[in-house]
Chains A and B, each alone.
Chain A
Amino acid sequence: MSGAPVAPHRGPVHASPTTSAPADASQAETIFEARGVNLRFGGVHALTDVSFGIRKGELFSIIGPNGAGKTSMVNCISGRYRPTDGKVFFKGRDVTGMTPNHRAALGIGRTFQNLALFGHMTVLDNIMVGRHHLLKNNFLTGPLYWLSGARKEELSHRREVEEIIDFLEIQHVRKATAGTLSYGLRKRVELARAIALKPDLILLDEPMAGMNLEEKEDMARYIVDLNEEFGMTVVMIEHDMGVVMDISHRVMVLEFGKKIAEGAPAEVLANPRVRRAYLGEDDDEEAPAAAAPAHKEVA
């Protein structure tokens, strides 16, 4: 939340979904639902009675101050944490107790806040790991590469992985070891790996953290494309309010593990409680909240 004006997105890509999408998204079915989720670690209440729904095809952002429970919430969706109380539903099915590895096959993919690539593998192999639940060859048929059809299967998936590589423009680092890449590229490879899962719901934990302006613009563009062209429902945690307000259909605000607001970006932005908790008051000299109006002129 620096006071810097939000950069305009380059090119004609930005068709401002802020205005158009919520209308049709509101009629869409709910793909994910949290009902009264509580998460406690000993005496720490990470999440307190959080309920919300994510509609199919939506770009849903979770914002809030540091330590508000955003990542905990995403961990409850991806299965990393199991809520102490409450239930989570995915595609109408109770997945509260389901292990993360089963959720991948069900259609939940994610990226991590701190880089979580397989550092010693090539970029290509990293993305191929994302195909794990879609591939069928195993430790018996895999070694018999040529005889068992494993080769054919691997190559057909390689084809699809290359599409993702093209989409994210990481062709040049295809064969590079993931651990040697720059931060921005690693973030992009992680996104590629999550896309390779072919998820219906993709969770992005601070996809733009630590990126420069240009990288942020590119990433925002990829996320919008994911949502609009690939038809994935996106849940995003992000601190860059310019991006959040710009591309999200709906926003949820957490503070101290509690949900304090949910709705269209403009509504949330106008909510006095959200301003107090996160965005900062108007009378503040630095006026971080002023970033949003400034940005609107640009968009």
Chain B
Amino acid sequence: MANVSIIPSGDFKTSYGTDTTIFPTTTSRNFAILGVILLLACPAFMDRFWLNMLIQIGYLGIAALGLNILVGFTGQISIGHSAFFGFGAFASAWLNNRWGVPVALAIPLAGVVTTGVGLLFGMPAARLKGLYLAIATLAAQYILQDFFARADWFTGGTNGTIAEALTIFGFSFDTDERYFYVVLVAMVVMYILATNLMRTRDGRALVAVRDHYLSAEIMGINLTKYRTMSFGISAFYAGIGGALYAHYLQFVSVEGFTILFSIQFLGMIIIGGLGSIMGTLMGTAFMVFLPEAMQALTKLVSGTAIDTALNLKDNIAFLREMSIGLVIILFLVFEPDGLAHRWKQIKAYWKLYPFSH
């Protein structure tokens, strides 16, 4: 059941080109296009709260995709992803404030600069495995966090730094309604780039390194090069995500990029599905909506019999934090392949409905 093909019968591919499309069927492609069109219409009828959620999903989703390329596709581990996210945010603000680089150019440039930093930390890390690698990336997290706090010239130190709003030809994307489109375009582009990467030579090489590094090496793949490169790509995505975040809030503070944030990125890709591009987006959406859902739930609970019986009082806020941890554990136990896998099973079920074979 798990391997049910979603290609409808009678849909024959007659060229290798049509057999290597991003979406397996025309229907799935049309649904994706429809989804993007619906999103384009969102600012017209959604309020600030929901737009803010979607924007968060956008920039966090880009950064999480980078982590998924590193962890899910290459089989490395990183618990320092938020530091690269932060570096991208500061780099973009710095490029704009210090050098007068227009924001539209500073965002991709911040990605490039962060790639450099990622490669720097990736070079030793690519030679390590398992727990040692985890510790090495933890070191990256703390080194960068410390750097943020001390490098006044770059981050404004403890005061943080102002990031200008994105302005293109005099049109300023300074409201949620406007910035939504920036994030949407960036997200679609970054996701398409990643999908293309994963279906070409170097993407396959990354997966090969993950699945069986010994035979990957025999196939002519330079392990160290590809592991290091994976760190670079992951940092690039984190940098772009961070830069988008900076110009959305228009202020970057040094306190935000903690190890907890890194763990949250890991949570996103685990819940979404390691090694799945669409899963990354699902996981990010899940992690963004989860606290809000729990918030609503705790509001419901407060004042009721459960509240008084357990004497929760102010502690009710902690339920939210605890539930995030609980959800990650539940996913690891019951759905280690993530939401992407669950989604595939649902599709397979409906395709065969009402017959299970």
Contacts and interface: CB of A to CB of B under 8 A. Distances in A.
Nearest to B226: A139
Contacts, number: 120
B217 A99 contact: yes
Contacts of A116: 212, 214-215
Given A130-B219, A132-B219, A139-B197, A121 B204 contact: yes
B1 to A, nearest CB: 12
Interface residues on A, range: 35 or more
B208 interface: yes
Interface string B175-209: 00000000000000000111011011111110110
A77 B67 CA distance: 37
Interface stretch (A16-24, A173-181, A209-217, A263-271): A173-181
Most buried by A among B20, B193, B211, B233: B211
A175 B5 contact: yes
Given A120-B275, A155-B17, A125 B204 contact: yes
B217 A119 contact: no
A155 B18 CA distance: 10
Interface residues on B, range: 35 or more
B42 interface: no
A154 interface: yes
A129 B216 contact: yes
Contact of A143 (B16, B20, B193, B220): B193
B207 A132 contact: no
B197 A125 contact: no
A144 interface: yes
Interface stretch (A84-92, A100-108, A254-262): A100-108
A139 B219 contact: no
A207 to B, nearest CB: 15
A184 interface: no
A142 B218 contact: no
A133 interface: yes
A142 B207 CA distance: 15
A233 interface: no
Given A101-B217, A138-B201, A155 B211 contact: no
Given A119-B211, A120-B211, A129-B205, A78 B218 contact: yes
B25 interface: no
A158 B19 CA distance: 10
A145 interface: yes
B222 interface: yes
B229 interface: yes
Contact of B20 (A112, A131, A133, A155): A155
Contact of B219 (A137, A175, A193): A193
A137 B205 CA distance: 12
A9 to B, nearest CB: 29
B219 A135 contact: no
Contacts of B223: 101
A69 interface: no
Nearest to A139: B202
A155 B194 CA distance: 19
Given A101-B220, A125-B207, A130-B219, A142 B214 contact: no
Nearest to B24: A175
Contacts of A162: 16
Contacts of B208: 118, 121, 129, 132
Given A110-B218, A132-B219, A121 B211 contact: yes
A93 interface: no
Contact of A159 (B16, B203, B215, B219): B16
Given A118-B215, A128-B204, A176-B3, A154 B20 contact: yes
B274 to A, nearest CB: 10
Interface string A168-191: 000000011100100000000000
Contacts of B128: none
Contacts of A245: none
B288 interface: no
Nearest to B217: A100
Interface string A8-44: 0000000000000000000000000000000000000
26 contacts: A78-B218, A101-B219, A101-B220, A101-B221, A104-B218, A125-B204, A129-B208, A129-B216, A131-B201, A133-B219, A135-B200, A136-B201, A138-B202, A142-B202, A142-B203, A143-B192, A143-B194, A143-B197, A143-B200, A145-B196, A150-B196, A150-B200, A154-B200, A155-B17, A159-B16, A176-B3
Interface of B: 3, 5, 16-17, 20, 192-194, 196-197, 199-205, 207-208, 210-212, 214-223, 229, 233, 275
Closest 8 CB pairs of A and B: A104-B220, A142-B200, A118-B211, A133-B220, A143-B193, A116-B215, A145-B196, A135-B201
